[in-house]
Structure formats: C-alpha cells, structure tokens
C-alpha cells in the first residue's frame, strides 16, 4: 500500500495518523511540491494525499482513505467526523494557513528541498489577503487566534475527563494543531501540548517545527 503525501499537508497527516494508530504499515512517498506529474498520472489531477491499495485501486480523498484503513483493520469505527469537530475545523483553517503558509517552506521538509519547489509554493499560496510578509508581521494577532482554537481543542478532546474521541475526530484535530507548532510565538495549553507530543510519538507523524526535523 502506497501513500503519496506532502509532509506539511493536514489531509495527508490525518491519514498517516490513523494508519499509525491502527499499526498499519504504509509505503510513504513524499512528493516534491513542484512535481506536477506523479499524482496526475494516477488520478488525473495534482493533489495529495493519494492512496494506492495493494490491488492497485487509487483513492484520493482523505476520509475515503481513512474509511478504507478502518475497514482493513476491522475497526468498528467509521470515517464520518463529528459535527462539532467539523465546525472547529472550519474555524481553524484560515488561522492555520496564516501561520503555515509563510513558514512551512522554510522547514526542512522533503517537498521543499529544492528552490523550484519553494518558488512553486509561494507562487501558488501567496495572495493579496495571504501576503507572506504581512502574515509574519501579524504573528502576535494570529497566534492569539490559534490559542483560542487550542483551548477549544482541549474541550473537544475532553482531555481532563480521560475519555477518547472517534479516531477520525482525533486525526482531524491533530492534523491541524501540528501546523501551529511552526510558530514558536503560539502559547500552548499544557494538556494539549502533551497530547500532541504523545500522539506524534505513537503515530510517527512529526510536529511541524524545526526541533522535530533535526
């Protein structure tokens, strides 16, 4: 089973998270960001994640891939996220982009290992509203938005209660929060930070900061 990813991509990370928690071994292929052909040859478009099963069937939506992995592991869970997590995710995507877009290509991630890949990233992701230099200047305000989302994540995860969410819910929350680690200005709820480190170690999905990639 082969999974094509970008390391920074939250949709790729949630698939890897589930595979890790289910102890499923995947052949992970990290594509260069300016690779315009590999996934296009498989599914007809440039996107990740793309999953190719042992029989050669290709899946290109993260929740479909997660559903396949849950079935493969004979899990009783399903790949349908809870509504409260979907609402949180909707609120979290813009702050995630504001933190990640000007920072991720500076991390030692394989997809950004060449100058042309970094240039392709900036060309595609930078807009008037998401100007990289302006976002870096606004770090304090954006970090505050992330901190609100981290507090909300603590409530969603019910860490103090010792209970667990559905695997797909945890995967979504983890995949978004890991991107906030690329801004050291973000202040973390200790319980959420500990949970993130524990989940990262359990799934072998690194958090997006320089320390993790040294």
Tell me how long the chain is: 214
pLDDT attached to residue 15? 98
**Spatial distance between the Cα atoms of 192 and 2, rounded to a whole number of angstroms:** 31
- Strand ranges (E), 57-99: 58-59
pLDDT of 210 reads: 73
Distance CA 50, CA 60 (A): 5
Low pLDDT (below 50) residues in the chain: none
* Cis amide linkage into residue 168, ω under 30° from 0: no
CB 69 within 8 A of CB 18: yes
Instruction: State pLDDT tens for residues 78-133.
Output: 999 999 999 999 999 999 999 999 999 999 999 999 999 999 999 999 999 999 99
Measure the CA–CA gap between 157 and 174, rounded to whole angstroms: 10
Delineate the domains of the chain, giving CATH numbers in brackets: 2-72 (3.40.30.10), 83-213 (1.20.1050.10)
pTM: 0.96
DSSP 3: E
- pLDDT at position 214, please? 55
Distance CA 103, CA 92 (A): 17
Name the region of 202 (left: φ>0; alpha: ψ -120 to 50; beta: rest).
alpha
Q: Return the pLDDT at 157.
A: 95
Let me know: does 61 contact 45? Beta carbons within 8 Å. no
Judge contact between 182 and 128, C-beta under 8 A. Answer: no
Alpha carbon distance 114, 118 (integer Å): 6
* Structural Rg of the chain based on CA atoms: 17
């Amino acid at each position: 089973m082969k999974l094509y990813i970008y390391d920074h991509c939250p949709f790729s990370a949630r698939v890897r998270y589930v595979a890790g928690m289910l102890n499923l071994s995947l052949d992970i292929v990290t594509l260069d960001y300016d690779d315009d052909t590999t996934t296009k040859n498989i599914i007809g478009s440039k996107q990740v994640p793309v999953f190719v099963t042992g029989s050669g069937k290709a899946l290109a939506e993260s929740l479909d891939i997660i559903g396949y992995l849950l079935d493969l592991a004979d899990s009783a869970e399903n790949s349908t996220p809870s509504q409260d997590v979907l609402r949180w995710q909707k609120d979290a995507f813009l702050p995630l982009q504001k933190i990640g877009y000007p920072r991720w290509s500076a991390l030692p991630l394989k997809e950004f290992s060449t100058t042309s890949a970094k240039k392709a990233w900036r060309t595609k992701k930078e807009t008037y509203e998401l100007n990289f230099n302006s976002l870096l200047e606004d770090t304090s305000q954006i970090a505050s938005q992330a901190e609100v989302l981290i507090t909300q994540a603590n409530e969603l995860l019910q860490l103090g209660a010792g209970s667990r969410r559905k695997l797909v819910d945890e995967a979504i929350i983890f995949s978004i929060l890991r991107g906030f680690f690329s801004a050291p200005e973000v202040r973390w709820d200790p319980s959420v930070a500990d949970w993130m480190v524990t989940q990262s170690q359990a799934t072998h999905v690194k958090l997006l900061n320089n320390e993790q990639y040294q």
